[in-house]
Amino acid sequence: MALLILGHPDIEKSLANKTIIEELENSGLDLEIRNLSKLYPDYNITAEAEQEALLKHQNIVFQYPLYWYNMPAILKHWFDVVFTYQFAYGSKGDKLKGKNFIPSFTVGAPESEYYTLGEHHFRIYEFCKNLEQTAYYTQMNYVEPFYFHGTSVNAGYTEEDVKVKARTQGKKLAEMLSRL
């Protein structure tokens, strides 16, 4: 049983993220998916509804495409609105304690560009410190991110390439969730 917070602005037009979710849905896991952009097209995220969903689950998956080395705005807004004082942190803010914080994202460019002399200069984990520390500060267990490179069909990857990699990620994620 897991909660999946989907931070894709338009999942219907997505290839990689959509395939990962289909794979998860086909895995037979008991999965609650919250598609933020569909639930909150005007960004008016309801803290109470989201916190209620969080309380029901032990495993929280964050699924999104990496945009500008970071999560999309709708997911950032979710953290800002939902991870409140005395819920997620503070003297009484232990409601997320011990839950698993599981990032799962997709990266447009190839891995070979994510190194010091490459076009993107940094390794992916260097862009994940904010996730890691958000987990620590809320007493959650940070799980090393699931991700793959090369989702951009414009960059020469075929649709089938992307689907194969996305299915693999979905499978790995489902396997881990079934063990947790």
State yes or no: residue 120 binds a copy of itself (CB under 8 A).
Answer: yes
Interface with a copy of itself includes 10 (CB under 8 A)? no
80 near a copy of itself (CB under 8 A)? yes
Structure token digits, residue 3? 């909660």
- Nearer of residues 31 and 64 to a copy of itself, judged by Cβ: 64
**Under the criterion CB under 8 A, does residue 67 sit at the interface with a copy of itself?**
yes
- Per the CB < 8 A criterion, the answer to whether 83 and 89 are in contact is yes
Place of tokens 């991110």: 145
Asked if residue 156 binds a copy of itself (CB under 8 A), the reply is: no
Q: Is 70 an interacting residue with respect to a copy of itself (CB under 8 A)? A: yes
Q: Which one of the spans 24-32, 52-60, 72-80, 161-169 is the region binding a copy of itself (CB under 8 A)?
A: 72-80
| Minimum distance from residue 26 beta carbon to a copy of itself (Å) | 30
The interaxial angle of helices 159-179 and 16-26, nearest 10 deg, is 40
C-alpha separations of 143 from 86, 133, 154 in Å:
23, 12, 31
- What are the residue ranges of helices labelled H in the chain? 16-26, 36-39, 47-55, 73-82, 129-137, 159-179
What is the binding site for a copy of itself (CB under 8 A)?
A: 42-43, 67-74, 76-77, 79-80, 83, 119-122, 126-127, 129-130, 133-134, 136-137
